[in-house]
Amino acid sequence: MSGRVKLQQESALLLGAGFTARALIPHLLARGMAVTATTRSAAPDLEKAGVQVLEFDGRMTSNALKRAAQNADYILSSVGPGTDGDPVLNAGVLAGATPKWAGYLSATSVYGDRAGQWAFEDEPPTPATRRGRARADAEIAWIETGLPVHIFRLAGIYGPGRSPFEKTLKGKARAVIKPGHVVNRIHVDDICSAILLSTDAPDPQRIYNIADNAPAPPQDVLDYAADLLGAARPPRVSADDPNVSRMARTFYSETKRVDTGRAKRELGWTPQYSDYRAGLSQTLKAENHAPVGITLTGYIDIPEENLPAVTAALPEHIRATQDEDGCVTFRVTQDTQIPTRYHVYERFTGETAFKAHQLRTSQTAWARASKNAARHYELFGSPNLTLTK
């Protein structure tokens, strides 16, 4: 008789198999967990992946769903609140559940308007919109269940399958302009990493802001997406335009910068995509969009002692590059929060023009001044090109 003891398989219940939950599922399966997820209708793709799918319409719960909750080691809900509260709690789904970890995906709308200032988890929520108040109420309701609940206040979620590229290609994107307005964002992969770190180090009743810590005006993001595609930048529309929907007006009525220091300190979390540039570059690849010509995007970090020389050489570097045959766009801009970082975006008509640019640049004052810089670039348009600068 063998003396080895077979360990029981851990299980996870995902309430609401939406965008984030679907991105999380492969990570849970890779950890050897048995995964159950709820959907409003059949989901053969999830079943094919090995997920047990249970239908839940937000009203009535089944005995199978109650059993799944009672047996789950980990429970995560991404089901949004309704007009009468949280559907999961109202339906009694969690009756008898005893998970070692539970999570609720909330939103930064609970903070209300902060007039562009930073929002921290210890501040009392002051939601001004109906959606924000519903989220804040749902957070309290989840904490009051007595389960080991962790709250994740998420910024605007994007990633493969949820990006501005499709609308941009179809000419349907538009940039709504409100001076001073910034938006916080988070790549879906970075949400998953925060959740997984939390499951590894439970701290019940803790609240975490999850954002990339690089809030930016919405039009900057849309412009960057268009640039990556080599498409026209979207038209501008004032936030006061009567054609802007009531929901969009609500969105533009609040602006804040979301601090993520707690998640970084306590979970050891660092977003893989530190701003929309990095996240959209990855998303472009994942969605298999083909930009026009050769595009390079990314950033360079300059040693502080080299910064004066780089700053002095930059204007001529920009001017000379923009005068090159085949240069469509060339921009180098200093980061607003990290003075030693410069963001780079350049697009050329093809490989010949790009190679000529690299050759010319290698002999310039810019190359000498920036030779110690750490370059973090993504190159689109040709698998045959390599970076030499």
Q: How far apart are the first and last CA of the chain?
A: 65
pTM exceeding 0.85 = yes
Position 1 confidence tier, pLDDT thresholds 50, 70, 90: very low
Spatial distance between the Cα atoms of 386 and 389, rounded to a whole number of angstroms: 9
- pLDDT one-digit tens code per residue, 167-187: 999 899 999 999 999 999 999
Spatial distance between the Cα atoms of 376 and 363, rounded to a whole number of angstroms: 21
DSSP β-bridge partners for residue 320: none
In this structure, the number of other CB atoms found within 10 A of the CB of residue 377 comes to 14
CATH of region 290-380: 3.30.70.100
Number of helical H runs and strand E runs in the chain: 14, 17
User: Tell me, what's the pLDDT at 4?
Assistant: 45
Residue-range domain boundaries for the chain: 290-380
Q: How far is CA 58 from CA 54, 80, 85, 135, 257, in A?
A: 12, 10, 11, 16, 32
Helix (H) / strand (E) element for 165: namely helix 165-169
- pLDDT one-digit tens code per residue, 149-170: 999 999 999 999 999 999 999 8
Please choose, from the candidates 137, 146, 74, 143, the residue with its C-alpha nearest in 3D space to the C-alpha of residue 107: 137
- pLDDT one-digit tens code per residue, 177-236: 999 999 999 999 999 999 999 999 999 999 999 999 899 999 999 999 999 988 899 999
Inter-residue contact 14 to 36 (CB < 8 Å):
yes
Q: Which residues contact 184 (CB under 8 A, 6 or more apart)?
A: 108, 155, 156, 211, 212, 215, 256, 257, 258
Which long-range contacts link 268-275 to residues 24+ away (Cβ below 8 Å)?
Answer: 268/197, 269/193, 269/194, 269/197, 271/186, 271/187, 271/190, 271/193, 271/212, 271/213, 272/187, 272/189, 272/190, 272/193, 273/187, 273/189, 273/190, 273/212, 274/212, 274/213, 274/214, 275/212, 275/214, 275/216
User: Tell me, what's the pLDDT at 387?
Assistant: 65
Question: Which token pair is 96?
Answer: 């008898």
- pLDDT one-digit tens code per residue, 65-114: 999 999 999 999 999 999 899 999 999 999 999 999 999 999 999 999 99
